Amino acid sequence: MSKVFVLGIDGAEPRYIFNDWLDELPNIKKLMEQGGYAKLNSTIPPLSVVAWSSMMTGKKPKDTGIFEYVYRKNYFYEPNIVSSKNLKEKTIWQIVSENNKIPVACLMPLAWPIKPFKKGICISGFSLTPSTNVDYTYPKEIKQEINSLFENFMIVDNDFRDISKEKIIKSAYKITKMHFKLIEYLSKNKKWDLFFGIIAQSDSINHNFLKYADSKHRKYDPNSEFKNTMKDYYKFVDKKLGELIKLLDKDTKIIIVSDHGIMGMHNRINLSDWLINKGYLVLKQPLKEKCKLTMDMINWGKTKAWAIGAYEGQIFINLEGREEQGIVKLKDYDNLINRLKEELKKITGDRGETLNTKFFIKKNDFQGKYQNIAPDIVIYFDDLEYGVNTSLIGNPSLWSPQTAIGSDDATHSKQGIFIMNKSNQKGNLGEIDILDVAPTILNALDVPIPKDMKGKIIK
């Protein structure tokens, strides 16, 4: 049995990794030539916290209960930020540990607060870890080792909005260097059978610089000084990956994955404004100016539906007997869902174009262990090429790029990457599912695969 080393690169896009930039990513290219690679079909919706949770457990969102970065406790209207407490299913590092093998899980999303496990190491990552002042490592003493390695270790840079592009680039490289140094240290100095590390700043680079790299983007500028920023960052990641590979045993199975990809976003549909204008969402007081929507502004006694989301739209029905002040009767639920679908289909793009809008309905698409907390409707406007704004209301038109926390020019695409050296299947494997990653890792480690994992083994 060989060791398994997995590197996750958040948001790595197949179009660039497998095609446009491949010749400039020599270490990734070599791994592809040594084994197999595939486009990885992400979750519905393809959000990082949702997708990584499914990859780590081998289960769909309907069976993890993770559908967004927020959740509603006991059907209350006010949303809460998700944490590891919301993820009830076992992760691959927990399963590996239970089978007397040693995992190192480094910079993992939705790992905080860290749940103790039999043996191994876990370090929580992403913006869902409040700060480095909390216990973000298991065992706790690993935090002291990290503090001895770095003067000021950072998981993320929370100062990323309304700052210059130059500062974004500087911060992304600074944090990425830290994270690679930590991965290198742990992989060299700790015992492990499975090592799973994630680089997350790639997603920040994607969102801030895609429009300079993508010639099909509405805002593409061929003369921009940032034209190669995104590619240069991935070349840097490839270089650091090459340095890591040199430290690994020759028989180590290496897997590179991403949770989703990245693509241009034309604009956003102001979905909360649309619900207000159609009478589905009713405010206590008429709007006087553009402002952030809060739950206490809503007249729940007259509201039939409301929404969350920034890329996909998630609509919740104010159902009688479920929500605290629900008014939609169960007998009217299906008709309301169908009416919303028909009306939402009619929304055009900001240039009058017909949109290829897709819907995922709770009763049809989210039947599982945690179906009760799933959104009633998930909407992909123009198959995600239009995002949504649900937090900033009172906009002068139906379309605007801004939400309450800022604007964006890029959205997540529905496919990430999967690369595995030492694979029986060689070359382009076509497409695989995100649920295939966990059983593939467990199989490589000779760990029994839980029966409720639905993915297939990539051999």
DSSP characters for 89-149?
Answer: SPPHHHHHHHTT--EEEEEETT-PSPPP-SSSEEEE-STTS--TTS--EESTTHHHHHHHH
Average pLDDT over residues 217-230: 95
| Domain range summary for the chain, segments of one domain joined by + | 4-265+412-444, 267-408
Euclidean distance between CA atoms 60 and 46, whole angstroms: 11
pLDDT beyond 90 at 284 = yes
**Model pLDDT for residues 121-177, shown as the tens digit of each residue:** 999 999 899 999 999 999 999 999 999 999 999 998 766 556 799 999 999 999 999
Q: What is the pLDDT of residues 312-323, one digit of tens each?
A: 999 999 999 999
pLDDT of residue 159: 62
What distances in angstroms separate CA 175 from CA 48, 202, 205, 347, one per listed residue?
Answer: 18, 10, 12, 41
93-99 mean pLDDT: 97
Question: Of all residues in the chain, what percent carry a pLDDT higher than 70?
Answer: 99
Q: How far apart are CA 82 and CA 171, in angstroms?
A: 25
* pLDDT of res. 163: 79
pLDDT per position as a tens digit, 45-93: 999 999 999 999 999 999 999 999 999 998 999 999 999 999 999 999 9
State the Rg of the chain over Cα: 22
The per-residue pLDDT for 54 is 98
Q: Residue 439: in which H helix or E strand, if any?
A: helix 437-444
Average pLDDT over all residues of the chain: 96
For residue 197, the Cα-to-chain-centroid distance in whole angstroms is: 15
pLDDT in tens, 344-391: 999 999 999 999 999 999 999 999 999 999 999 999 999 999 999 999
Could you read off the pLDDT of 379-407 as tens digits, one per residue?
999 999 999 999 999 999 999 999 998 88
Asked whether residue 42 carries a pLDDT value surpassing 90, the answer given is yes
Of 67, 81, 76, nearest to 311 by C-alpha is 67
Q: Two tokens at 112?
A: 């905080």
> What predicted TM-score, i.e. pTM, was given to this entire model?
0.96
Nearest to 104 by CA among 3, 15, 33, 32: 3
Residue 275 has pLDDT above 60, yes or no: yes
The fold for domain 4-265+412-444 equals: Alkaline Phosphatase, subunit A (3.40.720)
